[in-house]
Amino acid sequence: MKEHGCLEPLGPVIFPESITTGFAPGMPPEEFYDLLNYIPGPETDKIGALARELKVHVVLPIYEKGKEKNVIMNSSILINDEGEIAGIYHKTHPFPTERLGGGGWTTPGKEAVVVDTKLGKIGMIICYDGDFPELSRVLAIQGAEIVTRPSALLRSFEIWDMTNKARAYDNHVYVVAVNSVGADAENNYYFGSSMIISP
């Protein structure tokens, strides 16, 4: 954005799931934990400064180092146009192979998050969360007008398309779904196909 001369206010800017590391870390959880940062941290500081400079809201999905040893959260951080962290959501439905108890590396979150912004009320989900209608319904009940869904989804375009449209239609919200493109550290290939779905 900055390098390409952002002349008009944009928003929100939404990155794909686990943008700084890729979805699958390709290493044991203990090693991965040691590489991560707490929030706030260097990633949120840098993106926050850019958000303030460019006057945009940013959804930054990264793995977050938990306060307890080896606790890793798959997080979506909403940074407002003043560069401040306005909300943090921890993925409540990790994909089965991602979940620490299933041989993965993440600990599930426990709360639905809706943030009141200048753009409207934004609810956050992450990837596999979108397969479960109840979470998006809770966000809508809490007043969400926009639901952001940063993802690293590789199952199929049909599942991606169907679940994004269903969550928007079911709840009368906009769904902004951003999917990764290319390979990660474990050679999973992501097909992109980001989309904005109207209510």
Q: Residues with Cβ < 8 Å from 156, sequence gap 6 or more?
A: none
Say which of 64, 91, 98, 145 is annotated catalytic.
91
**190/179 Cα distance (integer angstroms):** 8
- Name the pairing type of β-strands 114-117 and 120-124: antiparallel
Residues contacting 171, CB < 8 A, separation 6+: 136, 137, 139, 140, 144, 147, 199
The DSSP bridge pattern shows strands 13-14 and 58-65 to be: parallel
Strand arrangement, sheet containing 85-90: 13-14, 58-65, 72-79, 85-90
Under a CB-based contact definition with an 8 Å cutoff, are residues 85 and 77 in contact? Answer: yes
Which among 17, 64, 98, 145 is annotated as catalytic? 17
User: Does the annotation count 6 as an active-site position?
Assistant: no
- Candidates 105, 1, 88, 109; CA nearest to 38 is 88
Say whether 17 is catalytic: yes
E strand residue ranges, 28-119: 58-65, 72-79, 85-90, 114-117
Spot the catalytic one: 43, 64, 98, 127.
127
Residue 127 designated active-site: yes
Task: Return the active site residues.
Answer: 17, 91, 127
